[in-house]
Amino acid sequence: MSEEIKLDRRMLEALVCPLTQARLSYDAEAQELISKPARLAFPIRGGIPIMLVDEARKLD
């Protein structure tokens, strides 16, 4: 069962891509933080962003 959790806007503004230091965009439906420059999607599990490159999904 997928549970959508609203991400705190202040936390989103403070987080950056660990690889490129670029700002992230929030995909509420997929529960991911997207780094367009790195072409990675970082998962959010239980309301906690997982900011590990090894855990990120590669974007096409």
Domains of the chain, each with CATH number or no CATH: 9-58 (2.20.25.10)
pLDDT score of 16: 96
Q: Say yes or no to pLDDT of 14 above 60.
A: yes
Which residue type sits at 27?
D
Quickly state the pLDDT bin for 13 (edges 50, 70, 90): confident
CA distances from 44 to 37, 47, 55 (A): 19, 6, 10
Q: Give per-residue pLDDT as tens, 21-43.
A: 999 999 999 999 999 999 999 99
Q: Which of 60, 47, 49 is nearest to 17 (CA)?
A: 49
pTM: 0.85
CA distances from 17 to 3, 29, 32, 49, 52 (A): 24, 20, 12, 11, 9
Q: Which of 26, 18, 22 is nearest to 43 (CA)?
A: 26
